[in-house]
Amino acid sequence: MERTALDNRLLNEYQRGFPLTPRPYADIAEDLGVSEDEVLARLERLGDEGLISRIGAVIRPNTIGASTLAAMTVPLERLDAVANFISSLPEVNHNYEREHDFNLWFVITATDGDAVQDTIKRIEEETGLEVMDLPLAESFHIDLGFDLGDVQT
């Protein structure tokens, strides 16, 4: 489906500075000159189309709970199945393929370090593959917002 100017504004303007109010979608709607229902429907459609994977806070690692970056070497013929399994785990907030021997990378976030290790163990048991645990050694801020301009899909 083609992205509209309104879709582009939703995708560009609310990657940062999401309203922290009792009714953020109503506030966004007011700013954009549309109804709250329209904002919610468009966000749902953009999610269904894979243009939005989640809407939520990004919290500095290990501030609340514990987290780690992890990587695996997954045979290409199993990559989709393993990635889908990992994505299904509530402790994993995203994963991605890289062109490297370690070709599947993901972040595990859990209540504490033991829960992170339990998740790693579960992944290894379910897949029969080793997980490389890369805990945070030094924190850096990387802005993951992307200006999508007004490109139509």
Express each pLDDT in 29-84 by its tens digit. 999 999 999 999 999 999 898 888 778 776 667 777 899 999 999 999 999 999 99
E strands present in 35-86: 66-72
pLDDT at 54: 79
Residue 136: partners with Cβ closer than 8 Å, 6 or more residues away: 61, 62, 67, 68, 69
Q: What is the mean pLDDT of residues 121-125?
A: 98
Confidence category of residue 134, pLDDT binned at 50, 70, 90: very high
CA atoms of 28 and 14, how far apart (whole Å): 8
Q: Which residues pair with 97 in a beta bridge?
A: 104
Count CB-CB contacts under 10 A for residue 148: 14
Domain boundaries, the chain: 5-48, 66-134
Is a pLDDT exceeding 60 seen at residue 10?
A: yes
- C-alpha distances in angstroms, 27 versus 14, 18, 24? 11, 10, 5
Class of domain 66-134: alpha beta
